[in-house]
Amino acid sequence: MMADTGDLHGSCLCGGIRYRAALPVFHASHCYCTMCQKQHGAGAGSYANVASAGLVIEQGAELITEYASSDDGRRDFCRVCGSTLFWRSTQSPDRIAVTLGTLEPEYTGPVKRELFVETKPAWLPRA
């Protein structure tokens, strides 16, 4: 079980960007949409949804590059190492999703949502 208070901590592959995000996590998800697959170069984008007001960029804010992947979708990544960091919607400015793979220590909460399962790749391991 994860605590409801405190912070998640994360960083990118090169270590240039460090951030923290205040708990609680409202929900965590694996998203199999084709945009997440492309951006992550992987079978899914895995995210924890938190309050945007609790996100603090502790280091390397100047390295964060944002890509508008749709009218309202914004995807933030490190311009040096390419790590995917955040996803947000301009229609829900109070929330932001942080990538589970950039969290340190490892995320230990539940991941209850699977999104866009209709485009989940067949080459992912089966449960």
Q: Among residues 45, 105, 101, which one has the least CA distance to residue 73?
A: 45
With residue 7 as reference, give the H or E element that holds it.
Answer: strand 7-11
| Shortest distance in whole angstroms from residue 30 CB to Zn ion | 9
Return the number of the residue (99 or 107) whose C-beta is nearest Zn ion.
99
| Shortest distance in whole angstroms from residue 109 CB to Zn ion | 19
Per-residue interface string for the shown chain with Zn ion, residues 50-89, x marking contact by CB under 5 A: ----------------------------x-xx--------
- Cα-flanking dihedrals φ and ψ of residue 30, to 5°? -105, 120
User: What are 113's two structure tokens?
Assistant: 């949502």
Return the number of the residue (8 or 60) whose C-beta is nearest Zn ion.
60
Q: Among residues 73, 118, 121, which one has the least CA distance to residue 97?
A: 73
State the Cα–Cα distance between residues 78 and 12, nearest whole angstrom.
Answer: 7
**Applying CB under 5 A, does 101 fall inside the site for Zn ion?**
no
In the complex, the residues that contact Zn ion under the rule CB under 5 A are: 12, 14, 16, 31, 33, 36, 45, 78, 80-81
